[in-house]
Amino acid sequence: MNITLSADEEIIERARKAALGMGKSLNQAVRDYLEQLAAGEEGLDAELEALRSLAGRGNSGGKRISRDELYADCLECQRGA
């Protein structure tokens, strides 16, 4: 199914660059987001758990990362921070 979205041109360009940074097209990034959204809370929880396990492999000093911290980090990445 095709959908049409409207957004500010600057936001679209920043999103396109962010998607390219992830090795995706903007179209693929939107599809991935919609899949996550459709999966609901369970899908989000599973993804965050996967991120937690990866974070534990880094130099966190054994600190557990909360869901809120992961979400905030994710938002910063999406903003290009």
SS3 of the chain: CCCCCCCCHHHHHHHHHHHHHCCCCHHHHHHHHHHHHHHHHHHHHHHHHHHHHHHCCCCCCCCCCCHHHHHHHHHHHHHCC
Mean local confidence (pLDDT), 32-46:
74
Predicted confidence band at 68 (pLDDT cuts at 50, 70, 90)?
confident
For residue 6, tell me if it sits in a domain.
no
Q: Which amino acid is at 67?
A: R
pTM (two decimals): 0.48
For residue 27, tell me if it sits in a domain.
yes
Q: Tell me how many domains the chain contains.
A: 1
For residue 58, the enclosing domain spans 11-79
78 pLDDT more than 60: yes
